[in-house]
Structure 1
């Protein structure tokens, strides 16, 4: 009987409620209908443009249009649209537009711009401007809402920044960023990335210690199947690398030792602290309060 009643309620519910659409007949509503019901992304993009030009829910229209453009491999156009029209959006919408922009820069391989925007978001956190001044914000994932804290957001942004540095093969900068992220809000996925940074610098003993923390369930998320599998793969890669280096030992030298010597001799010295961490140093003290 309960299933029948539920079905009756669905039949009586308005169309826009059933299809999770905004109510009305404005340009934005029509765009969402075409996107979600008719599933015509190109037509939806045209209607989102009309909504923006008509001043109809510009915050949502610009963000939604950029997301659809990305799905249609039109990421460069989406970047241009956001940069051109974000001044028409409210202050409250700027943070979510930045998040979309970061994903677009990543898709287009525009790493420097991605890094600059991630650093800007860290500065906003340090200055108390993130989340529109609130301690938490509501986020969505797979249709579910949940609360995100400043601490979690900082760690997430640092994780993205570390990954961007890795794409530049700047493993020393990436290592410093991941270390900072693990201090603030440790998790298994970023631990795996940290271990990879260390491996790329031939610091195998340190990399092993990080991976062991994951495999021994000492870090949040260690039970996640994907993170655990990756940690196991990295450990095998580490062991194979060390085994290869041992087999190449000759006259008391190993390839690992030689690589470390070359890095120390000709690579620039590691800075003790990246400039971005000087900018957010006060934030850590705030978290401790």
Structure 2
């Protein structure tokens, strides 16, 4: 009798182990079939077909849309993924919208849509400013390499600012990128953003300031300074600085064409603040500094 019980329970145990090992949800709906095709059969095209069926059937739409976009990105169907997210995000829950924004930003970055990245990153900053990020909570749970960890509003703000700074760099708007990176470093600094800030300063021929920023990485003062890629990049920037004229202007060159900061971002935030009846003291430091920088450029 005992042996019979063990034999009868074995298939269920094997199925449970299968789901754990392959990280496939249990069930037999279109979303589960999509994940099975994606993770077990490694048939990405078939997975997309099943993800579409899951979305149309209302089966775990939040996850189906995000996962389908990721698979499409892997297959270089990025434009199609963008249209899918934009068209069907209305079917997703409110809690999924923030992560869908992150998916869109990655897709925009993949296909070089820098202007779209900037618009969406500003939107995410506005949500933080209005207290609507993380669904009003001070932290959120994130995943990286299969591990869960908590992200604070400050960390998220710094991360978004870092992405915004990088987008400005792609447009060669190094003055705007500098302002954003400096504030990101003040909120939650790290080596990668410091190296990007250093590059912004080099592009503006402000070599002494660039050296000061670079020293924080070379002297291991910032998180991530011991990362292999950061060390190599820091050495490259150090060599670049050594090849430049050591005497450079310490103030930004406000006459460089194409480097003006965009007023629309600050003005939109000002309108939001006025509509809410807020005061300047309620604003995040990033918005204070950007306003001040804009005023300086106008003088």
TM class, shorter-length: 0.7 to 0.9
- Structure 1 residue aligned with 2:257, among 263, 267, 273? 267
Alignment of 1:48-127 (within 5 A): 48-127=51-130
Matched, 1:25 2:28: yes
**Superposition RMSD in Å:** 2.7
Deviation for aligned residue 1:277: 9.6
Query: Per-residue displacement from partner, 1:92-144 (whole Å, max 9, x unpaired)?
Result: 00011000000001111111111000000000011111111111111111111
8 Å CA contact retained: 1:176, 1:273: no
Question: Does 1:282 find its partner at 2:272?
Answer: no
The range that moved more, 271-280 or 102-111, is: 271-280
Unpaired runs of at least 5, structure 2: 1-12, 271-281, 287-299
Name the SS for the 1:242 alignment partner: coil
Is structure 2 residue 210 aligned with structure 1 residue 231?
Answer: no
Q: If the length of structure 2 is used for normalisation, what is the TM-score?
A: 0.81
Query: Aligned-pair distance for 1:276?
Result: 4.3
Q: What is the CA–CA distance in structure 1 between the aligned matches of 2:267 and 2:140, rounded to whole Å?
A: 24
1:7 aligned partner: none
Q: 5+ unaligned residues in a row in structure 1: which ranges?
A: 1-9, 244-253
What does residue range 26-41 of structure 1 map to in structure 2 within 5 Å? 26-41=29-44
Is 2:156 aligned against 1:131? no
1:189 to 168, 189, 192: 192
Q: CA deviation at 1:164?
A: 0.4
Give the distance between the partners of 1:184 and 1:91, measured in 2 at CA: 28
Q: Post-superposition shift, 1:25?
A: 0.1
Change in Cα spacing, 1:60 to 1:49, as seen in structure 2 (3 Å) is: same
The alignment partner of 2:244 has SS state of helix
* 2:219 aligned residue: 216
Shift of 1:269: 8.1
Secondary structure of 1:62's partner?
A: helix
Distance 1:89 1:104 in 2: 18
Task: Report the Cα offset of residue 230 of structure 1.
Answer: 1.2
Which residue among 123, 147, 151 is the counterpart of 1:148? 151
Shift of 1:231: 1.1
CA distance in 1, matches of 2:258, 2:118: 21
Alignment pair present for 1:205 and 2:195:
no
TM-score normalized with structure 1 length = 0.84
Distance in 2 of aligned mates of 1:71 and 1:268: 35
Distance in 2, matches of 1:29 and 1:97, equals 20
How far, CA to CA, are the matches of 1:268 and 1:56 in structure 2?
A: 48
